[in-house]
Amino acid sequence: MDLQTLKQKMDEARYIYDETLITVLYVALRLDRPLLIEGAAGVGKTEIAKVMAAALGRELVRMQCYEGLDESKSLYEWNYQKQLLSIQVQMGSRDSDELTKSLFSDEYLLERPLLRSIRSKEPVVLLIDEIDKSDEEFEAFLLELLSDMQVSIPEIGTIPATTKPFVVLTSNRARPISDALRRRCAYLYIEYPDMDKELAILRARLPEVDARLAVQVVEAVQRLRASEAILKKPSIAETLDWAQALMALGVRELTPEIMRSTVGFVLKNSEDIETMAELLLSGEAQCDCGGACDHGEGNGDCAHHHHHHA
């Protein structure tokens, strides 16, 4: 796939990208390198893997990382129930050594995401989500898998990859990722979008949202993110949720009252909701013009001084 086609596919998926992002994606794809994407929660890291799967026409295999994740959860497990049933059925009729051997064959193997993605007949996109939540041992194991593209299963032996997945790893930087893994990957850091980019995302995803309301929503979200007092910054998904909720209510104007009554779509904890109420009282969460200016298609006077408030 050439760069132009990739851009076209991203446009079709309505994913708003910049030149850096599309270049890194393209090179990682061409060189068959895993891609490590870092950034705050909710900036759209996971979305890249989904869009790439759609663009390449591949299945997306997702592995969510967490503390204590190990090989049996990520690679394979034996189907114990099926093995026990087999033992009961065949106990008398088969030689015990032969029976034991047969119990550890492909038939009883449960593929977990990593094994599934390298044994797939058609190449997949493998998303290893929030690698920073797993422990160092798992990361080391993963590095070995990515380097050799094969896995060892004691009872069966080495299983080489049938196809090579396009691997996307994401990290919210809860802990540092090892240099060895970083060196292995192409790297992308994604920040929260600025006003113009977030507006473009909102318009691409929800073209039916009133243009003026779209500007007011994005502006309010940008303010909330810029506020030191807000603990959990709203994600892009929450911006979209909020806009959808306002549309469902038939809202055309984002007033302080409307903000108060719909805040649960954009902020997800009580402390932040209280903070927003205080910001509203002080007038900081709203547009400077109090909604009186004509936002039109976006670059009005008030659309650009949203950062220095909070």
The predicted model gives 51-64 an average pLDDT of: 94
Nearest by Cα to 14 from 59, 60, 47, 62? 47
> Which of 240, 217, 234 shows the shortest CA–CA distance to 286?
217
Higher pLDDT, 280 or 129: 129
60 band by pLDDT with thresholds 50, 70 and 90:
very high
Model pLDDT for residues 286-307, shown as the tens digit of each residue: 554 444 343 333 333 333 333 3
292 closest CA partner among 254, 259, 261: 254
Q: Which of 31, 34, 11 is nearest to 22 (CA)?
A: 11
Q: What is the pLDDT of residues 204-238, one digit of tens each?
A: 999 999 999 999 999 999 999 999 999 999 999 99
CA distance 200 to 307: 18
* Confidence grade of residue 146 (pLDDT, cut at 50, 70, 90): confident
pLDDT in the model for residue 73? 85
pLDDT of residue 105: 86
What is the arithmetic mean of pLDDT over 110-134?
94
Over the stretch 74-102, which tens digit does the pLDDT of each residue have?
989 899 999 999 888 887 787 878 888 88
The model's confidence at residue 41, banded by pLDDT at 50, 70 and 90, is confident
Give the pLDDT of residue 295: 38
How does residue 240 score in pLDDT terms, banded at 50, 70 and 90?
very high
Cβ(39)–Cβ(45) below 8 Å: yes
Asked whether residue 71 carries a pLDDT value surpassing 50, the answer given is yes
User: Mean pLDDT over all residues of the chain?
Assistant: 87
What is the identity of the amino acid at 287? C
